Each structure stands twice: as C-alpha cells, then as structure tokens.
C-alpha cells in the first residue's frame, strides 16, 4: 500500500482579512475556503497578502507572514528595527505596531485566555483591562525601549553573531539589537568574530556595572581570547555536562531590588527588564500585605527575590521557605538571604519537595512557575494549605488561566490581577494575580 504524498503549502499566498490577535504573536485569518492562518506581521482589521511559512494540505492550520499590506491598520508603523519583518529576526513580534497598540493586543490576549480557560471576565478577575508599561518605557514615536539586559546571540558558520529567525535555527546576522540594554550593546558582541562558537550570551546587570558573557563552543572548538569594548567576566558552557564554568572574572552578576543586592550566577534566573524585579516585587507585596510573624512559601524562588522581600516584612517571628530546582540558583539564594535566620531554601522540584516538608498550613504563598505553569497537582496541594493570600506571578497568560481554574476548583478566587508590559516589542506579558479563599469576599 503506497502512502499518498502530502502537498506542502509553503510559499502559497492568500489575500485575507485579518481577524483577532491570538496568543503567540500572530493574528487569526481565514482563506476564502475557510482554512485557518496564523499570520505574523499583521494587525487586526487589516487586509493583507499572507505567504505560508509552515503547513501542508492536511494541516489543521497554516503559519504565514503578511508580505503585502493592502489595507493597513491605523495602529501600524514602520518597524524601527532594520532586521524586523517577514523571514527576518524572530526576536520581536510587534515592531510594526504602535506601543499603545502592542499593550492593547496583549490585553486582548490575556482577556481571551482568562475567559476561555478560566471562565473569568476582567471584572471577575479584579483587572481593569490595562497592560501597564514599565517606568521609563513610554518613549516618543520611533524610539524603542532598550530593556533586554540578557541577549542570547546565535553564531553562524562564519562566526558572525546574530539572532534566530522565527521558528528556525537560521541566524539573522545583526550589527545591533534595538531592544538590547545599553550595557549589552556597549560590549560590541556583534562587531567581533566568534568562529568556533555556537552561541554567545551577553548579560548586563542593571543593579551594578557587572558584565558577563557566556560562550557555548561548537564540538571540539577552542575558546577564543575574549576582548570586548568593556570589562567583562567570561564563562563557558561545557560540552560534556552542559554545566557553566568560570573562565575569568566573577562567576555571577550583582542585581538590586527592594534595597538589597542579589548575587545571580550563570543559570540563575533574574528578570530581563531592568525595572521588572522591583515592579513585580512591589506588586506581590502590595497584594499579599505580609504581617509580622506570618509564615510564607516562595515557590520556584530563583535566587530569592520574593523570599527576601517576604522575610523583611514578616520579621524575626515569621518564617519563609523557598523551593527552587536549580542548584546554582539555590546556592545564590542561600548566599543572598544568609542574613535571615528564619529563611530556609530547599532544592528540588516543587511537586516533589513540598509534600516532604510536612507543612500543612501557611499564611502566604508566592509562586513564580516556569512558562508551563504550576499544574493541577501542585495547585491543589497549595490550596489545601489554607493561605489567606496567594500571589501568582505568570509570564504566560494561558498557563495563568489554567492554574486559576484549578485554584477555583479548590475554593480560591482571584482578588486582583495586574498586567505589566515588561517585554516591549514581543508578545510576552507578565502578570501578578492575588488569590484568596472565595468565602472571604472582595
């Protein structure tokens, strides 16, 4: 029996009316025959020619780029970045949209996910429907916030640094990245030859003048002598174990939040936007209103940002337990919070460590899970601890909405929700949801 060959539709073009924005940095459109397209570089309400980039005759949907704009939206602008556009750098999703429109689009995605996955309207979620820009990110037309303090450059076969194209391993060679923080740009990564390297990550701490590059060599390649435009420490990713090891300089950078310095080693998590850590910490603390003597959990705690803020506020009579899976991050968290005798940091996955602690009740919980969310098992466990308030920090609206539904199953409702545009020009949005037992009322 012969298999019927599947016809690829890559390169096919359709003239379509662009529909609503969807989660993932694209909009929904349909061909005259009813086929669904996920269209990048388009805006709702536009009429465009969409060229298929992925998909076959049998695909449930096709991915496409808007290559010709027949009827532009009033929210459309010319992309400030020369490397943005169909088939180019995949780092930014909304270079072609006004900043205010970008935030509206993110708000629409968040509202749709909350309704579809959690059955919540904005009002029911205690959300005013806005996505707030970070302090200092409202700029004149044509200017782009330089917010990205960590940039992962890919290196092509000739040793040129660049950024990946959308859903591709291909490298778009760049001479600068417009959203890179000044501390990253001043290193001059794009100007030098990186022969033998597969990737170069540049980190510019916003809480200090610390600069670091992390090199990932290709198999068998030797490490180059790193001479950049500013002093920098150098780390390398080992081929055998994938571990990150110091070559010279500090093995960490120093960040600041809540009037405290945090050591963040390679592989340790810190928010990328320079204002993000402080913004999210304040949103969490304002939502939880910690009291002296309370007990708290900080789950997926990273290097201890929220644990430190909680410890400060619950005082010597309170207690904080942080749980984090990354070994280096746990080392950093223990170092950063060594001045708080009532703080304990445990290493391991939350779903494995939390049941072993024997904790049966707690006053406050903060969780900042990875993009996939915490999941039903963990959420149900947390809801059984009787916390008076829970702060959920989310970088993915779909995961947030799914977990909100799981909390609702166990008697917790959303008290307030705030959304922050901490990833300008991209489709990502950061949220802080504050939950409380449903019987308490608002």
Neighbours of 274 (CB within 10 A): 26
- Give one DSSP letter per residue of 28-48, joined into a string: EEE-TT--EEEEES--TT-EE
Per-residue tokens: 185: 């740009």
229 vs 161, residue with greater confidence: 161
pLDDT value of residue 1: 55
Tokens standing for 104?
A: 């509206």
395 is catalytic: yes
CA atoms within 13 A on the CB side of 46: 26
Average pLDDT over residues 371-376: 96
The answer to whether residue 441 scores a pLDDT higher than 60 is no
Q: In this predicted model, what pLDDT tens digit does every residue of 167-206 receive, in sequence order?
A: 999 999 999 999 999 999 999 999 999 999 999 999 999 9
The pTM score is 0.95
Rounded to a whole number of angstroms, the CA Rg of the chain reads 23
Three-state secondary structure call for residue 200: strand
| Complete edge-to-edge strand list for the sheet that includes strand 197-204 | 171-173, 161-164, 150-155, 197-204, 211-217, 233-237, 244-248
pLDDT at 357 over 80: yes
Note the pLDDT tens digit of each residue in 77-95.
999 999 999 999 999 999 9
pLDDT for 395: 96
Q: What is the pLDDT averaged over residues 299-323?
A: 97
Per-residue pLDDT, 142: 73
Task: Give the Cα separation of 115 and 124 in Å (integer).
Answer: 10
- Angle 276-288/305-314 helices, nearest 10 degrees? 40
At 95-106, the pLDDT tens digits run: 999 999 999 999
Give the whole-number percent of the chain exceeding pLDDT 70: 98
Catalytic residue among 27, 89, 177, 395: 395
| Beta-sheet pairing, 211-217 with 233-237 | parallel
What does the alpha-carbon distance between residue 212 and residue 249 come to, in Å, rounded to a whole number? 8
pLDDT value of position 2: 60
What value does the mean pLDDT take over residues 364-383? 97
pLDDT value of residue 442: 42
Report how far residue 62's alpha carbon sits from residue 56's, in angstroms, rounded to the nearest whole number: 7
pLDDT digits (tens, 9 = 90+) for 405-431: 999 999 999 999 999 999 999 999 999
The per-residue pLDDT for 106 is: 98
The residue-averaged pLDDT of 231-244 equals 88
């Amino acid at each position: 029996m012969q298999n019927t060959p599947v016809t690829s539709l890559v390169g096919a073009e359709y003239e379509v009316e662009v529909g609503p924005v969807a989660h993932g940095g694209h909009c929904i459109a349909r061909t005259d025959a009813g086929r669904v397209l996920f269209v990048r570089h388009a805006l709702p309400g536009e009429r465009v020619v969409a060229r298929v980039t992925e998909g076959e005759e049998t695909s449930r949907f096709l991915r496409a780029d808007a290559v010709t704009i027949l009827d532009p939206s009033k929210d459309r602008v010319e992309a400030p970045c020369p490397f943005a556009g169909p088939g180019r750098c995949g780092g930014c999703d909304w270079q072609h949209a006004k900043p205010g429109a970008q935030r509206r689009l993110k708000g629409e995605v968040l509202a749709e996910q909350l309704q579809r996955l959690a059955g919540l309207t904005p009002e029911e979620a205690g959300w005013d429907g806005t996505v707030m820009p970070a302090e200092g990110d409202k700029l004149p037309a044509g200017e782009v916030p330089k917010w990205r303090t960590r940039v992962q450059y890919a290196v092509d076969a000739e040793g040129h640094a660049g950024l990946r194209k959308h859903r591709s391993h291909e490298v778009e060679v760049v001479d600068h990245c417009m959203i890179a923080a000044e501390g990253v740009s001043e290193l001059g990564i794009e100007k030098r030859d990186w022969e033998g390297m597969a990737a170069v990550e540049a980190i510019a701490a916003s809480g200090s003048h610390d600069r670091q590059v992390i090199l990932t060599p290709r198999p068998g390649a030797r490490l180059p002598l790193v001479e950049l435009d500013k002093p920098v420490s150098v780390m390398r990713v080992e081929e055998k174990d994938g571990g990150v090891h110091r070559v010279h300089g500090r093995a960490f950078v120093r960040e600041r939040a809540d009037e405290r310095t945090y050591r963040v080693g390679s592989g340790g998590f810190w928010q990328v936007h320079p204002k993000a850590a402080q913004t999210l910490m304040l949103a969490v603390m304002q939502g939880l209103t910690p009291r002296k003597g309370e007990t708290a959990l900080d789950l997926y705690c990273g290097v201890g940002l929220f644990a430190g803020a909680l410890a400060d506020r619950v005082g010597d009579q309170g207690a904080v337990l942080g749980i984090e899976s990354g070994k280096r991050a746990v080392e950093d968290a223990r170092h950063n919070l060594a001045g708080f005798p009532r703080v304990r940091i445990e290493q391991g996955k939350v779903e494995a460590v939390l049941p072993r602690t024997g904790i049966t009740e707690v006053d406050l919980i903060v969780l900042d899970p990875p993009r996939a969310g915490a999941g039903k098992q963990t959420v149900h466990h947390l809801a059984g601890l009787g916390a008076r308030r829970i702060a959920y920090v989310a970088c993915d609206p779909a995961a947030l909405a799914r977990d909100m539904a799981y909390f609702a199953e166990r008697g917790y409702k959303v008290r307030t929700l705030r959304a922050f545009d901490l990833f300008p020009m991209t489709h990502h949005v950061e949220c802080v949801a504050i939950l409380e037992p449903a019987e308490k009322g608002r």
